[in-house]
Chain A
Amino acid sequence: MSILCRIVNSFHRSKVEQEIDRELKSHLEMRIADNVAAGMSAAEARRDALIRFGNRSLIREAVTAADAQLTFDELWHEVRYAVRQLRRSPTFTTTALITLIVGIGTNVIVFSVLNALLLRPLDVPEPTGLYNVVHQTLGYDNQSYPDFVDFQTKNSTFTDMAAYRLQDAGLTAGNAAYKCWYYRVSGNYFDMLGVQPEYGRVFHATDERGPNSAPYIVLSHGLWVSDFDSDPRIIGTTVHINKHPFTVIGIAPSGFHGTDVFIWPDFWMPMVDSPDDEGAGFLSNRAMHNIWILGKLKPGVSPPQAAENLNTIARELARQYPATDDDLSARLVKPGLMGDMFGDPARSFLGGIMVLALLVLLAACANLASLFAARTADRSRELAIRLAIGSSRWHVLRQLLAEAVLISLLGGVLGTIFSAALLGSLTRWQPFPEFPIHVALSPDATVYFVALLLSVGSGILWGLVPMRQVWTTDSMQIMKSSAAGTMVFRRFALRDLLLFIQITLCTLLVTSSFVALRGMQRSLRAPLGFQPQSVVLAQTDLHMGGYSDNSSTRIQNRMLQEVSGIPSVTAVGIINETPLGTGGSSTRVYRLGTTDFRSSNSAFGAKYFSISPGYLKAAGTHLLTGRDFTWYDDANTPKVAIINDSFARAMFGKTSALGLRFVMADKVSYEIVGVVENGKYDSLTESPWAAMFFPLGQNPDSDTSLVVRSQLSPGEIVPELRQVLTEIDPSLPFTFHSWPDALAFVLFPARVATATLGVMGFLAAMLAVTGVFGIAMYSVSKRIKEFGIRVALGAQPVQLMRSALSRPLTLLLCGSAAGLLLGAIASKLLAQIVYQATSRDPLVFGAVIATMAILGLLATWIPAHRVLRTQPAGLLREE
């Protein structure tokens, strides 16, 4: 019965299989019994029964294959086998895991950011069908309020349309004053979004009955918790916003933060109301573009249909109001990025980074593929035996694939856990404390799905590489020859290619990060037109203290006097908006003698600022010729201006501009009293702009940035400043930071790009090192016997090194060259984000080449040592 027993034993797998076995056994027994009854001997009977039955393992496989339940068991069996295999080679498993954690983790992080900013719908109860309505011209995303009202009432494709804008204000409740960011929204805003208050009520379209008819605010959950102790009794009380009374009518639900993905406002206010005297004029002015429109499509209406509908209305309005609405047009964009202001840069930047992250993963896969191919070559004996005893090639391949996918999934899970932790801290990170910017990055179902997809995909990608190896395995050949040595070098071509790809990708990433780093360094050294070092900025909006523009000048003058009295302060001045800050406006200027002030007749557009006497000295802006303003430049004296060098050259050429005049659209002419150096005003990457400065005495502004230059560190001077300024008016909320810190905003994209590229470059470099190391080590270990013989025959170390390392080093050279070339092309794209990014920089070239050389040296050092330490006697004895 031994054969029967063996059949029985081989079936010990699952209940289902045991059933099958029981059935086959009962069949055999019945046949044997019949045979005996027919007169055969017991032995003959069994033999006959077994012969009739045919190949037992084939039947078993065939029955198993017919059984759906067993297919899962099979899979489980394979997974368990894979786990055993992986546990048997911990080095391979660890290397693969780390590589995958890095590769997949990077992608999960980048994709989470992309998902949070670009893919996820707005975080409101009913996000479907919401679109921002912006101009067709890129970058013109704001609309005017009267145009909004026309769009809202005349369209036939939207169920509703709301308007909103973001503003800051000083909020006083009791004795405390805060600087707050808030949304001014049309009355139907909450109803359109389907937002229900947590406490109290929200305002509705019916509350709007003309300017200043609804002095209500709805607090955000965050502000209510942090500043009002979660006390529901706040509802119905009065708070002061810029010294104007408003009633708190409700608290927004905790998850709701308005209609921009990364803005978390402190409260909402009806658009018809205004916390300052100048603020309501835009409601009737078609020329003031300062609101965003959010529309909700009717079910079944497509965005192009809706856009066409709005454009028809826009053409009508253009006929009706040619002076203001001549260029009115509508385009529907995905909502949530301040109109579409951040849409394009975010899309191109994040898209680019996503591609780089995928390249890192691809490099990781190439790395693993060559490792796995080498491992499969080492296991070719085992595979050959399995093929020889009847395992199908598909089965063997499936087994290898199971190992690859299993380890990829494990790497994916660990990578996702790490990224989730990192994303958690990124979510808490607030790069700009003065802005309510906050991005919820925590991974959601989409992210997990993508992580799973990437894990399985990369597992299959590198798990399939040994396919050809399995398919062409000649089991006879392999079992005859002593080791896998013969087939190693035949397989070499594929691994060479993988290594080449990997090194190319690595060099590309390293080049990109060096280019970005250099650009960053240069942009920090570029002439800004002012000296931010050792300057502290104290910023406020005097509207928050209830001052009008015109009454601002007097208190600004007082601030300057008090602050200059602080002993350590060497210079102080005021500007309305600091250059390279977040504001700043531009307007058209005209040559003297212009009579028709159409924009096509203007000379050019120029940035303009209002400054106090002493600002230029405090900011460190060099006055090239002429004089600074004095407090005598006021409403009673002729209008004067200081211009920058670009302005002077563009309007007056080489003649000295001093004493000459230009005109603005209000037909007032200005006398030029000074010329200052050029500077950067909006961004570091801009080409030189024309700019002009007006005295605060003639051009009053409530926006106040005190520019304080002192010998003390910011930490020492700020308390003194705060004390002095509080004494002047305790209700004014000031924000303080050093000027270099304030520049963080403009440097932020470049910083992020540099940091990201740096990390990616580093990861790629690590992958390249392990890749080159792995391949060099492997080929050395396979040929160590050959080297022993050659040493015994008198080969020189140099000759051995050449034959051992020439291949990896050649690959390193070719790959680096290709990567450098690709990097040069890629840096053209990079130049859009990072100021002055160029690959035509000998330093970048040198650094990349040096890096690759160091990487090569690192990766081949140990293999080379092993070659040189070859002991022929010992090796030959081993055999």
Chain B
Amino acid sequence: MSRNDLQGSLDLLVLKTLSQMGELHGYGVVLHIQRASDELLSVEEGSLYPALHRMEQSGWIRSEWKVTETNREARYYRLTGAGHKELLKAEKSFERLVKGIRAVLRYA
């Protein structure tokens, strides 16, 4: 169950975002999640960076300094092969979690 906690879902969101968008900086990840979830989910900006760093240490994502279209310096993240695998795993386990919760709710 420990992999299915909130941290796990933040990882899932970040990985999914990066797999859809290709290459993105941290701020972009926050914006994308907000937009894609119709403003339902807002990522706590403070907890995003520890998560990004952890994932980079685990080899799921790679980072690179680039200049944004508004001519600012930003660190861009992209998914690695291991990241893709991890994303599949995270999606599966999230689906199981949702199924489980739904089953419990129905029963109640």
Contacts and interface: CB of A to CB of B under 8 A. Distances in A.
B57 A59 contact: no
B46 A53 contact: yes
A54 B44 CA distance: 8
Contacts of B27: 26-27, 30-31
Given A30-B72, A62-B50, A67-B53, A23 B26 contact: yes
**How big is the A interface, by class?**
20 to 34
Nearest to A67: B53
A343 B107 CA distance: 75
A27 B45 contact: yes
12 contacts: A23-B74, A24-B49, A26-B75, A27-B25, A30-B25, A54-B46, A59-B50, A62-B50, A65-B50, A66-B51, A66-B53, A67-B57
A30 B25 CA distance: 11
Nearest to A51: B45
Contact of B45 (A19, A22, A54, A58): A54
B25 A26 contact: yes
A19 B72 CA distance: 15
The 6 closest A-B pairs by CB, nearest first: A54-B46, A62-B50, A66-B53, A66-B54, A30-B27, A59-B46
B47 to A, nearest CB: 7
B95 interface: no
A800 B57 CA distance: 64
Interface string B11-26: 0000000000000011
Nearest to B55: A66
Contacts of B75: 19, 22-23, 26
A30 B31 CA distance: 11
A31 B30 CA distance: 10
B46 A58 contact: yes
B2 interface: no
Nearest to A26: B74
Given A31-B27, A66-B54, A68-B57, A22 B47 contact: no
Nearest to A61: B50
Nearest to A65: B50
Interface in B49-93: 49-51, 53-54, 57, 68, 70, 72-75
B70 to A, nearest CB: 7
A52 interface: yes
A63 B73 CA distance: 20
Contact of B57 (A19, A20, A66): A66
Nearest to A25: B73
Contacts of A22: 73, 75
Contacts of A29: 72
A23 B27 CA distance: 10
Contacts of B57: 66-68
Contacts of B25: 26-27, 30
Interface in A50-98: 52-55, 58-59, 62-63, 65-68
A33 interface: yes
Contact of B50 (A19, A26, A30, A66): A66
Given A63-B53, A68-B57, A26 B72 contact: yes
Contacts of A24: 49
A357 B90 CA distance: 57
B65 to A, nearest CB: 8
Chain A facing B: main interface SS:
helix
A24 B30 CA distance: 13
Contacts of A55: 46
A283 to B, nearest CB: 72
Contacts, number: 61
Nearest to A62: B50
Contacts of B68: 30
Contact of B70 (A33, A58, A62, A67): A33
Contacts of A67: 53, 57
A22 B47 CA distance: 17
Max chain B Cβ within 10 angstroms of own Cβ: one of A20, A30, A53: A30
B72 A59 contact: no
A407 B72 CA distance: 48
Contacts of B49: 20, 23-24, 27, 59, 62-63
A68 B46 CA distance: 19
A30 B53 CA distance: 20
Nearest to A29: B72
Nearest to A22: B73
B11 to A, nearest CB: 12
B48 to A, nearest CB: 9
Nearest to B31: A34
Contacts of A52: 45
A28 to B, nearest CB: 9
Nearest to B54: A66
Contacts of A33: 70, 72
B73 A26 contact: yes
A119 to B, nearest CB: 42
Interface string B34-49: 0000000000111101
A100 to B, nearest CB: 37
Interface string A550-586: 0000000000000000000000000000000000000
Nearest to A19: B75
Interface string A9-29: 000000000011011101101
Contacts of B26: 23, 27
A29 B26 CA distance: 12
B102 to A, nearest CB: 32
Contacts of B53: 20, 63, 66-67
Contacts of B51: 66
A67 to B, nearest CB: 5
A756 B70 CA distance: 79
Nearest to B29: A27
A60 to B, nearest CB: 9
A53 B50 contact: no
A29 B71 CA distance: 12
Given A24-B49, A30-B72, A54-B46, 14 more contacts: A19-B75, A20-B53, A23-B49, A23-B75, A26-B74, A27-B25, A27-B74, A53-B46, A54-B44, A58-B46, A59-B49, A62-B47, A66-B57, A67-B53
B80 to A, nearest CB: 17
Max chain A Cβ within 10 angstroms of own Cβ: one of B46, B47, B51, B72: B46
Given A27-B27, A59-B50, A67-B57, A53 B45 contact: yes
A22 B73 CA distance: 9
Contacts of B72: 26, 29-30, 33
A661 B44 CA distance: 109
A27 B25 CA distance: 8
Contacts of A30: 25, 27, 68, 70, 72, 74
Nearest to B43: A52
A358 to B, nearest CB: 42
A29 B25 CA distance: 13
Nearest to B28: A30
A843 to B, nearest CB: 69
A33 B71 CA distance: 12
A708 B49 CA distance: 92
Interface in A234-265: none
A23 B72 CA distance: 11
Nearest to B73: A26
